Structure 1
Amino acid sequence: MPLFQYKGRNQRGEAVRGHLDAASPDAVATQLLNNGVIPIDIVIAQARADIFGALQARWVANTKITLTDLSLFSRQMYTLLKAGVPIMQALRGLRESTQNPAFAKVIASLGESLDTGLELNNALRRHPKVFSSLYVNLVQVGETTGSLQDVFLQLALYLEREKDTHDQIKSATRYPTFVVTAIFIAIFILNLFVIPTFAKVYAGFKIELPLATRILIASSNFTVTYWPVLLFTLIVVIFSVRYYVNTPEGRYRWHKSKLGIPVVGRIIYQATLGRFSRALAVMMKSGVPLVQGMTVVSRAVDNDYISDRIVQMRDGVERGETIARTAAATGMFPPLVIQMIAVGEETGSVDELMLNVADYYEREVDYDIRNLSTAIQPILIVFLSIMVFILALGVFLPMWDLVKVARQS
């Protein structure tokens, strides 16, 4: 958006001047009037070509808007609307109080869109990278039914739980990722620096080296000779995998295989189903039709494999089947959860039962994460034991042969 320079007078008649980012001079005038300033002159300011300004603008553009920003925004909107504060005034207050400069620009853009006569949900749609389809659809329902403040409360609770789930998944994958990375770095260092030293010592021995030692030395020689090629290959593989994962087919295969990772995959799977159950419950509780809710939620679970199964459920519901039957057909849910969904359909309280399903999965995730280290440690110990055993055989067997030769002589 262009930068405008303005001059005006405040309510006490004092001259004021400053700069504002806005879509047009009319938008600047509207903002000034809303702030109690009578505009006198509004012109486009000169381009900010100084290095500091350019760096600051780039920093703002690259600042990430997090779930914490969104959940805090939703809760503050609920509080302000419940207190009777007009939505335009609420947005102005939140724009000035937010600590994230990128999100402050988004909030300012929302206010400008509302100034032009757009509804809030349409203003949110202009920022698809910030507000998900689930968020926009719930706000649209809130505007239609006159329960916007209640929708913001539901969104705040949902986003807060969503952040907890993301943090739990990161916590579940951080420890094994760190350990496996450290192991491979250790192998690389051993091959590059440690084993060559032993190889020089063994080169002076007049004995045939054991097979394990010859394998270690050959591996070390290959690493020392071709480490630039290995490093380049590793970089190419990483970028190729990232490119493939960003394609629809690659993303689907990665999301499916991610659920099959030992120990950690189960946590990711249950956390994703918990997210689906809670999102669908929030949609239904806000008055969104079931089929539309499933369509929106299928895009919000952040896993293409499970999203495809949710679409299958939606298609089954459209054909007139029950939710419990379509859920059983996908194979995603255990019998206990399917029974809970069936009870919810019979009693007409599917939204409440889906919240119970979400609580069930979230308790399972909490339990699995607390026991994650206990489950992973045996696997890592076995892996490390095999590595140490191979290394010990390769290093110490020649010494053992030397001792035997010395004794015979």
Structure 2
Amino acid sequence: MPFFAYKARNERGEQVEGVLEASDTSGIASQLFNIGITPVDITATSEATVVGSESDWWTRFSEEKVKPIDVQLFSRQLYTLLKAGIPIMRGLAGLQESATNKSFARVLKDIRESLDAGRELSAAMRRHPKIFSNFYLNMIRVGEMTGRLEEVFLRLFAHLEFEREMSERVRTAMRYPSFVVMAMMGAIVVINIFVIPAFASVYAGFHAKLPLPTRILIASSTFTVNYWPLLLAATVGGVFAFRAWLATVDGLYKWDKVKLRFPIVGKIILKATLARFARSFALSSKSGVPIVQALTVVAQTVDNAYIASRIEQMRNGVERGENILRTATVAGVFTPVVLQMIAVGEETGELDDLMDEIAKMYEQEVDYQLKTLSSEIEPILIVVLGLLVLVLALGIFLPMWDLGKVAGNG
């Protein structure tokens, strides 16, 4: 249904603005009258966002963005409120008033207004796709259908906590290697622009044939100094071209497949992705989602287009009547131990519990490999740094060595 932006007056005569969804303007007016608001102006819009003044726009631009931790805490708090028997409207009102993030408070306000207008919670949240993921929305929908909404919120909290911990571990593990690589790149730029030209001017006075490494370094430095705007433009253009390529379905699929083959980090990415798959599948299964629908939902959460295509392949096999073990084997991304646990889970009817065990197993392996990642990358960085120093030393000091030998013979 289309969206309509409205301006209206509440019971106190204050002006309120927002966006609602209905088949026509009459539907919008009916929704507003039902919640005690008198419409003043209703216009069609293509954006499912609240329309505001220029000052409102600047306030929203400068305000703190909604972070994943905000959604995580919201899930835990709403679970506690629902478990205590507090009506959801009253709970949302309390969370809105106590929210420290003003942007998220505005989201909660919009959700309350949508619920007042007769929408379901999942439909109200779907108006904010940048904040609530497809997986989150689908799980809320399942909770509404099964009457286990509070349980779903608790499981979503645990799921988001897992996602946050995994992201934090990856950032921590990559901090040192990233710093070393950036320092090396900076050193190369400084040497090319400032150091080598100084030596080149000295060597030019020798009027002698320079060694090959020296000539290569001087040529590289000269090219960098003379054409640095072109190099900068090519780098920026390459970054934008790469991002544009990733924005395509085929580009993202190929890149996600290549990432899994990277030395050292490829195995970590694969295991972290499969841990996310197993955790999400277990959560969906325990919440009462049918297997086919669960695989469809989980494919949207793994954050890897290649693995997602394999999960969709599994879903297609299950739709044709094949068992999960066969489809998982054909997918070709699971280890023999995992396939064995899937077989036992299908046979005993405890697939969701064993999926949890698979997730824990992969999480432990990822945690161990992340802790040892720096020690595995350090030798590679040392070798690269040693080769860089060797090339620079040969290029800069070989001419001095040759001149020293000539002077000694003289």
Could you tell me the TM-score, scaled by structure 2's length? 0.88
Match of 2:48 in 1: none
Contact 1:280-1:297 within 8 A present in 2 as well: yes
Structure 1 residues 226 and 168, CA, compared in 2 at 3 Å: closer, same or farther?
same
Match of 1:59 in 2: 62
Deviation at 1:201, TM superposition (A): 0.9
Counterpart Cα distance in 2 of 1:263 and 1:3: 57
Amino acid at match of 1:56: T
Deviation at 1:207, TM superposition (A): 2.8
Percent identity for Structure 1 against Structure 2: 51
State whether structure 2 residue 259 is matched by structure 1 residue 258.
yes
Match of 1:182 in 2: 183
Match of 1:11 in 2: none
Amino acid at match of 1:173: M
| Alignment map for 1:156-171 (pairs within 5 Å) | 156-171=157-172
Match of 1:392 in 2: 393
Deviates more, 1:17-26 or 1:272-281: 17-26
Structure 1 residues 6 and 142, CA, compared in 2 at 3 Å: closer, same or farther?
closer
Contact 2:142-2:289 within 8 A present in 1 as well: yes
Residues 238-272 of structure 1: CA deviation (Å, up to 9, x unaligned): 11111111111111111111222222222121111
Amino acid at match of 1:273: L
Contact 2:125-2:137 within 8 A present in 1 as well: yes
| Alignment map for 1:297-336 (pairs within 5 Å) | 297-336=298-337
Give ranges in structure 1 of 5+ residues lacking alignment. Answer: 9-16, 34-38
Give ranges in structure 2 of 5+ residues lacking alignment. Answer: 20-27, 42-50
Aligned residues: 389
Structure 1 residues 148 and 221, CA, compared in 2 at 3 Å: closer, same or farther?
same
State whether structure 2 residue 316 is matched by structure 1 residue 291.
no
Counterpart Cα distance in 2 of 1:6 and 1:143: 30
Counterpart Cα distance in 2 of 1:159 and 1:206: 67
Residues 102-129 of structure 1: CA deviation (Å, up to 9, x unaligned): 2222211111111111111222222222
Match of 1:13 in 2: none
Match of 1:268 in 2: 269
Residues 58-80 of structure 1: CA deviation (Å, up to 9, x unaligned): 334xx532221111111111000
Counterpart Cα distance in 1 of 2:72 and 2:321: 36
Match of 2:22 in 1: none
Counterpart Cα distance in 1 of 2:273 and 2:175: 18
Deviates more, 1:126-135 or 1:337-346: 126-135
Counterpart Cα distance in 2 of 1:343 and 1:174: 40
Deviation at 1:215, TM superposition (A): 0.7
Contact 2:299-2:308 within 8 A present in 1 as well: yes
Counterpart Cα distance in 2 of 1:349 and 1:285: 10
Deviation at 1:131, TM superposition (A): 1.8
Contact 1:169-1:268 within 8 A present in 2 as well: no
Q: Any idea what SS the aligned residue of 2:288 has?
A: coil
Structure 1 residues 54 and 291, CA, compared in 2 at 3 Å: closer, same or farther?
closer
Deviates more, 1:212-221 or 1:143-152: 143-152
Structure 1 residues 253 and 178, CA, compared in 2 at 3 Å: closer, same or farther?
farther
Match of 1:77 in 2: 78
Contact 1:173-1:264 within 8 A present in 2 as well: no
Q: Any idea what SS the aligned residue of 1:253 has?
A: helix
Counterpart Cα distance in 2 of 1:178 and 1:3: 51
State whether structure 2 residue 203 is matched by structure 1 residue 202.
yes
CA RMSD of aligned residues (A): 2.3
Residues 304-343 of structure 1: CA deviation (Å, up to 9, x unaligned): 0100010111112222222122112111111111111111
Amino acid at match of 1:290: I
Q: Any idea what SS the aligned residue of 2:206 has?
A: coil
Match of 2:221 in 1: 220
Amino acid at match of 1:69: D
Deviation at 1:6, TM superposition (A): 5.1
Match of 1:363 in 2: 364
Match of 2:241 in 1: 240
Counterpart Cα distance in 1 of 2:189 and 2:255: 27
Q: Any idea what SS the aligned residue of 2:118 has?
A: coil
Q: Any idea what SS the aligned residue of 2:365 has?
A: helix
